[in-house]
Structure 1
Amino acid sequence: MSDDRLHICHVLLTDRFAGSERYALELANWQAQRHRVSLILPRSAAENRDDALAHRVDAQVQIHLLGGWKLMRSYAACKVLQRLRPDVAHAHLSQACKAVAALPRGRTLRTATLHIHYKSQQHRELDALIAIAPWQLAAVPPQLPCEQIDNWSVAPLPTAGTRAALRAQLGLSDDVLLVGALGRTERSKGLDLLLQAWRQAALPNARLAIVGDGRDWAALRRQAPADVIMPGFVSNPQAWFAAFDLFVSAARSEPFGLVFLEAMHAGLPILASASQGAMHLKSLIQRPLLPCEDVPALCDALRAIAAQPPARQQYPLEGFQLPNQAAHIEAFYRRQHNALLRL
């Protein structure tokens, strides 16, 4: 470092927008206000589609796009890192971790965020790790520095009429209870369990919306009743949170649950299974958590809430703000980079 500015290079080798991608892009965009920031993405992340990544990146971030085969992305990313020689190489998700770990140990801090859980083959050769929730720490070897820094959520700007406009588009009057789930449509999210509970609950004057896309979308659509709303990926999730009356997570596994913070920003009451993320945020959720994979319990809880729908509420989210968490991450970089240079 020639001055107080760091050269930070984020490595993200996926190409569709979801929670981990949001974390990486928001962090890179924020850091670019005071540091030199680079971002390595696959070329497919710059395609012209709503769920792509490159169009979400601030102009101050220097993007490096990788072509070639998907299986070669880690190798190609490592070559870019060797050329850039950043102070910090920050990996996000599996392929990126392999790319950063392949860098020779030296002046670049090789780190990653544990978006899911510690995996020895991906993380053991790195210099340090960031955990997003306390439960992740137990699996990390004691010799590998790891600091827990909570995720964050950026409060959306309020837009007058958002709720009414979307509900009108869906053909829903304001007295209809709209129960919503939002996230990747994959097994870990428990959306198949939610559909089972929804059919059993048979709530009057209520609709269910499952918002998001993923490998299980078609299978879920086939098993869902025709009146379940399933728009797929949406570019305006804040509008859907505004339209919901209740947010539900039936997740089998949820490492942190950024979506919980998003629902809280919208003031939504939350009904959640006791996933790892929900347990971490239990004091904020302020509602008893349900056993994971317990369809009857979820059915009963839906019926109880429908009988007496709770009002929107304010949540104390001061500890989950991007400026504060980014400052913690920068301090982590500096401590670990200094320790690396002393070796």
Structure 2
Amino acid sequence: MHRSATDPRPRVLHLAQPVGGGVARVVLDLAKAQLTAGLRVTVACPGGELAERARDLGAEVRGWRADRSPGAGLPDEVRRLGRLLDEVRPALVHAHSAKAGLAGRLAVRGRVPTLFQPHAWSFEAVGGATAALALRWERWGARWAHRVVCVSEAERATGVRAGIRARYTVVPNGIDTGHFTPGERPAGAPLVVCVGRLCRQKGQDVLLRAWPEVLRRVPDARLALVGDGPDEAALRRLAPTSVEFAGAVADVRPWYRAADLVVLPSRWEGMALAPLEALACGRPVLVTDVDGARESLPPGHAAHCLVPPGRPGALAGTVAALLLDPELRASLGGQGRRHVLSTHDVRRTAEAVAELYRELLGGRPLVSFECRESIHS
């Protein structure tokens, strides 16, 4: 249901290209908090799970056709977004991830307050000439972001080292600690769970290469990969029979609660949600030392729960050592739950973002876009 143009409540536009995974989760958590606070919220995306769930929350949803990666269709994507912006007329635009950040900043060009949240830098996801182009764009496009929101201090530092001159704000990721709660682990053989999109970023191939050594030391261990993605067929070719491909699931909590250990062997991140969710469920996590990983762990956990990225041998040794030490796992899980409650509750994240919105608009209530100059004038 569309509200009257005279509705005095401010409108925020969240722009996202990924419609699943961590980016969608962040958008939905923010939209829920902002709707509760009385803002009008529009989510523009290519449909899918994000659109369905945003609509269920009460947000206005606008379709924005866009591919995941930049290509020949980018000019049309920017034009479509420009028309959408003229129709929605938001007080503030919050663009999530590389593609929405690219198209959004090209369409708005700083004419209304614009936040760009990379959710991991685009130039880390590619190599060669493509990485150079992505970095060049991020340096150039920073002028059209009133603030770049990083989910970890490490992500911000990566941007600074790369020469991206921007006004940065660090807002750590948060999760719903009332939704992700501990539960009793079912009886059975030791279970390692990896939750994430099946793609190069998440590093499931590294975990599968480590798995034979884990089995040599813990012969009855099992591994479950929870999620789907473009690398599924290749990963299945690497996997022995002790590996289960669970696919995408509507509710990941039973997998966390069934796990003895949750592993995320990423090649790059900003700050992944899966480790925070697992910690909230009272389960120990093992992560690779990429952006945001150390910051997501409780103090003292790095000695037990952090390994170099892309190193199957180091990963195998640490997975096996944790599986063979149930007392340490129990201690780590309990500490992890307390850490997430105190540091990564989604309410903290939503309030930090709300404060940033207020700051960008001079500390006053968000004003409606109806009073502003058209972005195409």
SS at match of 1:300: helix
The answer to which of 280-289 and 221-230 deviates more is: 280-289
Q: C-alpha deviations, 1:203-232, integer Å up to 9, x for none? A: 222101111111111100111012201112
Give 1:117 deviation, angstroms: 2.0
- Aligned counterpart, 2:374: none
Note if contact 1:100-1:111 (Cα within 8 Å) is conserved in structure 2. no
- Aligned counterpart, 1:121: 137
Q: C-alpha deviations, 1:215-254, integer Å up to 9, x for none? A: 1111001110122011121111111111111111222212
- Aligned counterpart, 2:219: 204
- In 1, Cα distance between equivalents of 2:293 and 2:206: 17
Give 1:158 deviation, angstroms: 7.2
- Aligned counterpart, 2:108: 103
Identity over aligned residues, as a percent? 28
Give 1:22 deviation, angstroms: 0.8
Measured at CA, do residues 334 and 227 of structure 1 come closer, stay the same or move farther in structure 2, by a change above 3 Å?
Answer: same
Note if contact 1:270-1:285 (Cα within 8 Å) is conserved in structure 2. no
- In 2, Cα distance between equivalents of 1:256 and 1:161: 24
- Check if 1:61 corresponds to 2:77: no
- Check if 1:262 corresponds to 2:277: yes
Q: Identify which of 153, 160, 170 aligns with 1:148.
A: 170
- Aligned counterpart, 1:230: 245
Give 1:67 deviation, angstroms: 5.2
Note if contact 1:81-1:89 (Cα within 8 Å) is conserved in structure 2. no
Q: CA RMSD in A?
A: 2.8
Give 1:284 deviation, angstroms: 4.7
Aligned length: 323
Matches within 5 A, 1:162-241: 164=186, 174-202=187-215, 203-241=218-256
Q: Going by fraction, where is helix more abundant, 1 or 2?
A: 2
Measured at CA, do residues 219 and 284 of structure 1 come closer, stay the same or move farther in structure 2, by a change above 3 Å?
Answer: farther
AA aligned to 2:277 is E
Measured at CA, do residues 69 and 254 of structure 1 come closer, stay the same or move farther in structure 2, by a change above 3 Å?
Answer: closer
Note if contact 1:40-1:63 (Cα within 8 Å) is conserved in structure 2. yes
Measured at CA, do residues 10 and 31 of structure 1 come closer, stay the same or move farther in structure 2, by a change above 3 Å?
Answer: same
Note if contact 1:274-1:290 (Cα within 8 Å) is conserved in structure 2. yes
- In 2, Cα distance between equivalents of 1:142 and 1:215: 30
AA aligned to 2:288 is S
- In 2, Cα distance between equivalents of 1:143 and 1:304: 43
- Aligned counterpart, 1:77: 81
- In 1, Cα distance between equivalents of 2:156 and 2:96: 17
AA aligned to 1:177 is P
Q: C-alpha deviations, 1:67-87, integer Å up to 9, x for none? A: 588833332122111222211
AA aligned to 1:23 is V
AA aligned to 2:310 is E
Q: C-alpha deviations, 1:247-280, integer Å up to 9, x for none? A: 1122221221111110111111112221222122
SS at match of 2:194: strand
The answer to which of 153-162 and 192-201 deviates more is: 153-162
- In 1, Cα distance between equivalents of 2:235 and 2:287: 19
AA aligned to 1:198 is W
| Structure 1 spans left out of the alignment, 5+ residues | 47-51, 165-173
- Check if 1:315 corresponds to 2:361: no
- In 1, Cα distance between equivalents of 2:310 and 2:348: 35
What's the TM-score, normalizing by structure 1?
0.85
Query: Following superposition, which runs of at least 4 residues in structure 1 exceed 3 angstroms of deviation?
Result: 2-5, 66-70, 140-143, 156-164, 282-285
Q: Identify which of 313, 334, 338 aligns with 2:358.
A: 334
- In 1, Cα distance between equivalents of 2:22 and 2:177: 15
